[in-house]
Amino acid sequence: MPETPLSRITSLDALKAATMACRECPIGEFATQSVIGEGKLKARLMLVGEQPGDQEDLAGHPFIGPAGKLLARALAAAGIPQEQTYVSNAVKHFKYELRGKRRIHKSPSQREISACQHWLEDEIALVKPAALVALGASAARSLIGRAVPVMVNRGQWLPRPDGREVLVTLHPSALLRVDAEDREPAFEAFVADLRQAQRLFAR
Ligand code: URA
C-alpha cells in the first residue's frame, strides 16, 4: 500500500466536503452525492463495504438499503452492538449503469478503488478503530492493499500495513442473491465470520 501523504482532512465534515468535490475518477460526476461512513468515533470495529447503493446515494447515508438491513441483523445475531461500530465504504460514490430509468449497481474498477483509497485512509485515521471488517473483495483490496480471495480467507484476520487487523468476510448483498433454500445456512456462515470480532466487545 503506498504511504498516505500527510492529509489535510481533520474532521468527518471536511471528508464529506472533499469527497463531494472529488473527481479523481469518473464516478463522482454521475452520483447524487458522496456518502461517507457513519457511527462511533474510536469505534472498536469499523466495517467497510464496497460503495453506496441506489438508496444510499439518494439519502446520503451508508448501508440503509436491503444489504444494510441484512448486515444489522447479522451483527445483532453475532452479539456485536451496532451502536459501537462505524460503517463505511471503500468507494464514496455510487457507480451504476442506466437501464431505462433504473440505476443498476456496477462494481468499481481496481483503478476507482485505488483512487478512493486515500479517503478511506483519512476516515480510518479519524475514526481510529481497533480493528476492521472487510465486507467483500473491493473492501479487502482497499484495506489490505492487494487482491484477497474472499472465499479462501473468510472468517480470518489479515494484517494491514498499519498493524491493524482486518476480518475478511462476504459482502451482505452476496447473501441477498443466494437461492432461497440456501439463504439460512449462508446467513449463519456470515454470522459465524462476524462472531470472530465479538471478542472486541466482550467485557
Ligand atoms: N452496499 C455497500 O457496500 N455499501 C452501502 O452503503 C450499501 C450497499
Q: What's the CATH code of the domain at 178?
A: 3.40.470.10
Q: What is the greatest pairwise CA distance in the chain?
A: 52
Evaluate: CB of 56 within 6 angstroms of ligand 1: yes
Evaluate: CB of 50 within 6 angstroms of ligand 1: yes
Statement: residue 112 has pLDDT above 80: yes
- Return the ligand 1 atom nearest residue 35 CA: 6
Q: How confident is the model at residue 6 (pLDDT cuts 50, 70, 90)?
A: low
pTM assigned to the model: 0.96
Output 43 or 199, whichever has higher pLDDT: 43
Domain count, the chain: 1
When pLDDT is averaged across residues 78-90 and rounded to a whole number, the result is 97
Instruction: Collapse the DSSP code of 39 into the 3-class scheme (helix H, G, I; strand E, B; otherwise coil) and give the result.
Output: strand
Q: Tell whether 27 is covered by a domain.
A: yes
Q: Tell whether 161 is covered by a domain.
A: yes
The CA 63 to ligand 1 mean position distance, Å, reads: 5
Give the model's pLDDT for residue 8: 85
Burial 164-184 (b: 16+ CB within 10 A, else e): bbbbbbbbbbbbeeeeeeeee
Q: Tell whether 25 is covered by a domain.
A: yes
Q: Tell whether 4 is covered by a domain.
A: no
Which residues constitute the domain of residue 54? Answer: 9-201
Statement: residue 203 has pLDDT above 70: no
Q: Tell whether 179 is covered by a domain.
A: yes
Q: Tell whether 3 is covered by a domain.
A: no
Angle between helix axes 110-127 and 137-144 (nearest 10 degrees) is 70
Count CA within 13 A, CB hemisphere, residue 152: 5
CB 47 within 8 A of CB 135: yes
Nearest to 37 by CA among 112, 141, 143: 143
When pLDDT is averaged across residues 157-170 and rounded to a whole number, the result is 96
Evaluate: CB of 108 within 6 angstroms of ligand 1: no
Which of 1-10, 81-90, 135-144 has the least mean pLDDT?
Answer: 1-10
Burial grade of 85 (CB within 10 A; 0-12, 13-18, 19 or more): buried
**CA–CA separation, 74 vs 189, rounded Å?**
10
Q: Tell whether 1 is covered by a domain.
A: no
- Return the ligand 1 atom nearest residue 50 CA: 3
Evaluate: CB of 67 within 6 angstroms of ligand 1: yes
Evaluate: CB of 94 within 6 angstroms of ligand 1: no
Tell me which amino acid residue 93 is: H
The CA 73 to ligand 1 mean position distance, Å, reads: 15
The CA 203 to ligand 1 mean position distance, Å, reads: 30
Name the DSSP letter for residue 32. S
Taking only the tens place, the pLDDT of each residue in 91-108 is: 999 999 999 999 999 999
Give the model's pLDDT for residue 179: 97
Give the model's pLDDT for residue 51: 98
**CA–CA separation, 48 vs 58, rounded Å?**
19
**CA–CA separation, 51 vs 57, rounded Å?**
9
Statement: residue 7 has pLDDT above 90: no
When pLDDT is averaged across residues 7-27 and rounded to a whole number, the result is 95
Site of grid cell 474472499: 150
Give the model's pLDDT for residue 5: 58
| Residue to probe by mutation, ligand 1, list 63, 64, 143, 176, most atoms within 8 Å of CB | 63
Q: What percent of the chain has pLDDT over 70?
A: 97
Evaluate: CB of 194 within 6 angstroms of ligand 1: no
Q: Tell whether 2 is covered by a domain.
A: no
